Amino acid sequence: MHNMLNRFFSALHLLPALGLAVVLASCNEQPGSSAGAATGTAEPPFVPADGSPATSPGSSSVAQTASANPPLSGALTPDSLHLISPGRAGRLRLGMTEAKLKKVVPAQQLRRTTYVDKGQELPAYEMLDAQQPNAPATVLHFIGDSTGGFRLRRIRIYDPQYRTAEGIGVGSPFGAARQNLGLTKVRPTPAGFAAVSGQVQMAWVIDPKSLPAKHPDEMNSSDIPPAARITGVLLYQ
């Protein structure tokens, strides 16, 4: 009995030391450690002012959330039926067959005509716009023969509803096209005097009234006044 009492009083002497050890351990615990997470009381490292969920730094870059082709300030932006991109204008695709054209464009929007290339008469169509029937028609040139079939070779656009993702189209200043599309040479084309981008096979026809009265057949795009207006767009193969 005497030995048991001695052990009890010895344990009482150790209690202050144990309490001090617990306090020291709590002070040394690092923020965000597993112990803190287990209690569920740890605050997130950053809480936006609007109360939206916190995210890790760098988890969503500006480049990923911004538009790949932001429109120019004040420029018109096209819908999917009037979007111009390399080889495409809305539902039209360079290389598409005449039969495919008639499947994607209603017959009442197409007027059959012809054009002459190197002395050969070939089929063409004038395509009216469903939303704006009075808008300038888009001209479609086909090439091939009746045996192998005809395919879309060129698209001539005069309707200002058609635009690139940057908002550049008929009526835009040439300076905007030069700055955003990397145009270098300006020369005659089947559609008129135009700035040509061979890389994307597109040409931008320039209002002849904006050009010097006498100019060479080939010019640098830097020689064209920035305020000169685009009057047509040519897509070709």
Tokens for 130, please give them: 């469903």
pLDDT confidence tier of residue 185, bands split at 50, 70 and 90: confident
CA atoms of 218 and 196, how far apart (whole Å): 11
* Cβ atoms of 57 and 66 closer than 8 Å: no
Mean pLDDT check: name the lowest of 9-13, 50-54, 174-178: 50-54
- In this structure, the dihedral spanned by the alpha carbons of residues 208, 214, 220 and 221, taken in order and rounded to 10 degrees, is -30
Q: What is the pLDDT at residue 140? A: 98
Domain residue extents for the chain = 1-66, 72-237
Q: Which of 230, 96, 211 is nearest to 166 (CA)?
A: 230
> Which of 31-35, 97-101, 192-196 holds the top average pLDDT?
97-101
**Higher-scoring residue by pLDDT: 50, 198:** 198
Mean pLDDT value of segment 154-170 = 95
Q: Decide if pLDDT at 61 tops 60.
A: no
Q: Decide if pLDDT at 192 tops 60.
A: yes
Q: What is the pLDDT at residue 35? A: 40
pLDDT confidence tier of residue 146, bands split at 50, 70 and 90: confident
Label residue 68 left, alpha or beta by phi (over 0 means left) and psi (-120 to 50 means alpha): alpha
Measured over the CA atoms of residue 87, residue 232, residue 224 and residue 179, the dihedral's sign is: negative
Q: Decide if pLDDT at 26 tops 90.
A: no
Residues 6+ apart with CB under 8 A from 53: none
Q: What is the pLDDT at residue 95? A: 97
In a 3-state reduction of DSSP, which class is residue 196? strand
| Average pLDDT of the residues of the chain | 75
Q: Decide if pLDDT at 129 tops 70.
A: yes
pLDDT confidence tier of residue 171, bands split at 50, 70 and 90: very high
> 72-237: what CATH class?
mainly beta
